[in-house]
Structure 1
Amino acid sequence: MSCRPMPAVLGCLVVGALVAVPTPAAHAATLQVRCSVPDLVAAINTANASPGADTLRLAPTCTYRLTAPHAASPGNGLPQIRSKISIDGRGATIARDTRAPKFRILFVAGTGDLRLDRVTVKGGFAVDCPFFEDQVPGIVCGGGVSNTGMMKVTRSKFIGNTARSDVFAQGGAVDSPGTGSVSETEVSGNHVVYSGTDAGGGAAGAAIANDGPLTVTRSRLTGNTATVTKDTQSTAFGAGIISFAETTVKDTIISRNRSYAPGGFARAAVSNGIPEPGRLTVTGGAIKDNTSDAPHGTAQGGGLANNGLMTVSKVKISGNRAVAEDGTARGGAVRVGPFGTLDLTDNHITGNTVDAPNGTAQGAGLDNPDGGTLTATRNHVLRNTATAKSGTAEGGGLYHAGGSTGLGTTTLKGNTIARNRAGDGGGIFKASGTLTLNGDIVRDNRPNNCSPNGTIPGCTG
């Protein structure tokens, strides 16, 4: 005699006896996925349709090469992630074929929860932005993955992904307006591009763009590029990471990224966007050898640029460059914008440069020129250089000005500012506003420690 499953409180009759049969519970399932794109698509569809969490175990070292977008979701190469799915890559790669149409690799819907481990996501090319498309048509985001739900990435790689738009592009590799975390992951060789011709466009976050709470831990963001169309007065920023919401970066290397904006604005490898309540916190690791390049334009920060709330501690900020031939270069290491509040504690800020041939170069180490608030405690600001052949170079260690309101403040506590160079104010140049020293060491800077002479109490020579 057969028995149809019923709620446990009712049971069913089996050979005249009342037997309790529990309702089948949702449980985790593990699906083995052969080295086949159809099998991977089928496994995601099965996982989306089943209750509970599912794990997809990919074939070790396989390359799942996507040759066409998913029919039901043409902006993406794979079905949308709509339930709780873990992808155990075991060293596998999911890549868009270079001859294929343009599409991102993965999209996490609002109901989705993606766990990605030991997977390489390669060659995605975004053509839309699911989170913003109903609000601002034309935005493109997340060349590798766009997350509007929940996402946890571990021990993975995002390589050679692109977001490109003629309106606004963000997140060359990863765009996360949902809740996300990235750990022990390499994000390298990705691109975000503004290709339009109108003024005021933007390209943000070549590696990662964040619009929701995000934590990045023990990862490497290297060799990513943000570019905009020449002479459009557009902005390329956050070639490593751009933060529009609460973001925490821990023990991460951010290096060799480039923001390029000829005739526009090139902003630092680590940036936050318009003033937001969310704070960008960077702790440990290094921000090094990044470049912001804006010929005939304005370069604003080579390493970090802050125009909201930012806290930076115990980070090595070295070898970064802000370059603007025939333009303005500010903040080789760190730049504070007019709405920025920045706390710097126990960092090493060394060997950064601002260079503006035939233009203006200010603040090779630290730059607070537009009315922001900077508090710097126990930092070492060493061997930074401001140069401007046939131009003006000021503030090798620090440049400060009050901005248009005159209310900008810089408070220094127990820092060492030494062996920096500039045309004037080799250590510190104060143009206006309020700047105070509290037990700081300012010495051995060239051609002088502080300028104009007598404007900074406690600083001489």
Structure 2
Amino acid sequence: MNQTPTRVPARTAAVSAALALVTALTGATTAQAQAAAHAGTVHVPCSVSKLVEAINMANNSPGAATLRLARKCTYKLTSPDAVNPANGLPAIISEITIDGNGATITRATSAPDFRILLVDKAGTLTLNKITVSGGRATDCPLFPGQGVCGGGINNQGTLTVNHSRVVHNAADTATNGIFAEGGGIDSDGTATVNDTDISNNTAIYTGKTESIADGGGIANDGPLTLSRSRVTDNTVRVTENTNSTAFGAGHIAFATTTIDHSTISDNHADAPGGTAQAAGYAAFAKTTIDHSTISGNRADAPDGTALGAVSNGSPDRVTVTDTVIGRNTTSAPGGIALGGGVANNGPLDMISTRVVDNTAIAAGGTARGGGIRNGPFGELALKSSTVRDNTAKATNGGTAQGGGIDNPAGGTVTTHHSDINDNTAKAPGRGTAQGGGIYHAVGSTTLNDSTVTGNTAGDGGGIFKASGTVTLNNTVVKRNKPNNCAPSDSVPGCIG
């Protein structure tokens, strides 16, 4: 596993006359007649029944409709849709714009579980200035019987969300072997999210056998654009010691994705005895990240494996430009922590990007790649970028390798005009700490017009080369502690 709305046409004189005739002959309300012809804007009173009625009218009439909700009203859903009880409101099967006007659509806490909104394959939904909250998914439309998906919104058609909030929704399951995905939004169609907060959503698996929880905030199996938005404080979690995987706590992408001027922060992936991966963002398809911040995310896997805040497993190229990846942590006490900031196992270009102040920590275990872990299929290219102040730490006799970059398994790393500075690999308690700036084995690392300075480790403060090829082209390696490169003479052109 690893885009927009149309405007409602103006009412013509002929439509006005027809509406008047319909009203006179049938006694239909003005709001119903407007909804039936999709002319102008239908004002929906602060009533759930009126909202359901307006959606049904819009669905059953030709053309596009705009529904304007009552200002700052809370539409509290106490029962599911009569036709499809997995949803709180009727499925969107036509072209509908809902102008929220600051309103909230939420599930009452006493109500049975159901998501808030489903956009059908034939549907197009635009949400403006609205809060969607309290949804709890019970099914997965794309994978029936296999999972629960989209606690707040599940999109099978076309979805646009503008200036809104998708908060406190859940795709949680206790059913053995069923996966949980997309706590806030699960999009299998085409989606665009603009200037929106997606926060405090969950995808949690509590079954007793092996399974998966992913996409605490967003999961997309169709193309998605995330612009000027915030994906924060979302959670993925799996049952302890079931060999399960929790990944993409903030956002997981299985289809082409573009992220620009957005923040993915303070999300949490938790998998005791399993695998916690990509607390911030996981890419399994072509992705472009531009002018964004990915920070403060945490992946925890006691006695298991924890991988980077940003994880790339895409066979297609992922490009990260002018972005900060900072203050993220992967933690695996007694296990393996890989890539405090980035865990890469595919083609990845990082341009004018800063990977700073990230940590991979494993008490009594193995910590590799405080800043970046590059896997066996990783093709990492750093261009005009910085890897600084990252730490790989393994206490209690553990192993720490690659404070800045870890490239130990046959991947390739190439830098151009980049700086790998002030990173640390440390293993207090008689452990092993190698490669403060870079740890390298098997594959190839080529540094062009770059610097490796001020890094610290037990050995190979700048670069530790266990095997493979490290090439320095017009690159400075100096002021590293206790030495610049190890073993001695292993890196041509590196002194001491």
TM-score, length of structure 2 as denominator length: 0.83
Other structure's SS at 2:50 match:
helix
Alpha-carbon separation, structure 2, partners of 1:128 and 1:190: 17
Q: 1:369 aligns with which of 369, 375, 381?
A: 375
How far off its partner does 1:457 sit? 4.1
The answer to whether the 8 Å contact 1:288/1:303 transfers is: no
Aligned to 2:165: 157
Q: Structure 1: which 5+ residue stretches go unaligned? A: 6-24
* Counterpart contact for 1:152–1:182, Cα < 8 Å: yes
Say whether the 8 Å CA contact 1:226–1:258 is kept in structure 2.
Answer: yes
Partner of 1:250: 260
Q: Distance in 2 between matches of 1:395 and 1:174?
A: 36
Q: Partner of 1:344 in structure 2?
A: 350
Distance 1:325 1:305, change over 3 A: farther
Tell me what 2:444 maps to.
434
Could you list the runs of 4 or more consecutive aligned residues of structure 1 that deviate by over 2 angstroms after TM superposition?
Answer: 25-29, 269-274, 302-309, 454-461
Aligned match of 2:422: 419
**Counterpart secondary structure, 1:125:** coil
The equivalent of 2:107 in structure 1 is 96
Greater shift after overlay, 42-51 or 300-309?
Answer: 300-309
Work out whether residues 296 and 326 of structure 1, in 8 Å CA contact, stay in contact via their aligned partners in 2.
yes
Q: Does residue 238 of structure 2 align to residue 228 of structure 1?
A: yes
| Structure 2 equivalent of residue 145 of structure 1 | 153
1:214 is matched with 224
- For residues 126-141 of structure 1, the aligned pairs below 5 Å read 126-133=137-144, 137-141=145-149
Indicate if the aligned counterparts of 2:224 and 2:258 stay in contact, CA closer than 8 A.
yes
Distance 1:27 1:77, change over 3 A: closer
Residue 317 (structure 1) aligned with residue 328 (structure 2): no
Aligned residues with identical type, % of pairs: 47
Letter in 1 for 2:463: C
Matched, 1:259 2:269: yes
Q: Give 1:16-415 correspondences, 5 Å limit.
A: 28-133=39-144, 137-165=145-173, 166=175, 167-199=178-210, 201-272=211-282, 278-309=285-316, 310-337=318-345, 340-389=346-395, 390-401=397-408, 403=409, 406=410, 408-415=411-418
- 1:431 Cα shift? 2.2
> Is the CA contact (8 Å cut-off) linking 2:283 and 2:311 kept in structure 1?
no
Q: What SS does structure 1 have at the residue aligned with 2:219? A: strand
Q: What root-mean-square deviation, in Å, do the aligned CA atoms of Structure 1 and Structure 2 show?
A: 1.6
Distance in 1 of aligned mates of 2:325 and 2:146? 35
- For 2:495 and 2:356, the matched residues in 1 are separated by 22
- Change beyond 3 A, Cα 1:400–1:458: farther
CA displacement 1:37-60 (0-9 Å, x = unmatched) = 000000000110111110110001
Alpha carbons 1:348, 1:381 under 8 Å: kept: yes
Name the amino acid aligned to 2:138: V
- Structure 2, unmatched stretches of 5+, are 1-14, 16-35, 426-432, 466-485
Q: Normalised by the size of structure 1, how large is the TM-score?
A: 0.90
CA contact (8 A) 2:356 2:387 kept: yes
Equivalent position amino acid for 1:91 in 2: G
Which structure features the higher share of helix residues? 2
Q: Is the contact made by 1:202 and 1:234 (CA closer than 8 Å) also made in structure 2?
A: yes
How many Å separate the matches in 2 of 1:352 and 1:256? 13
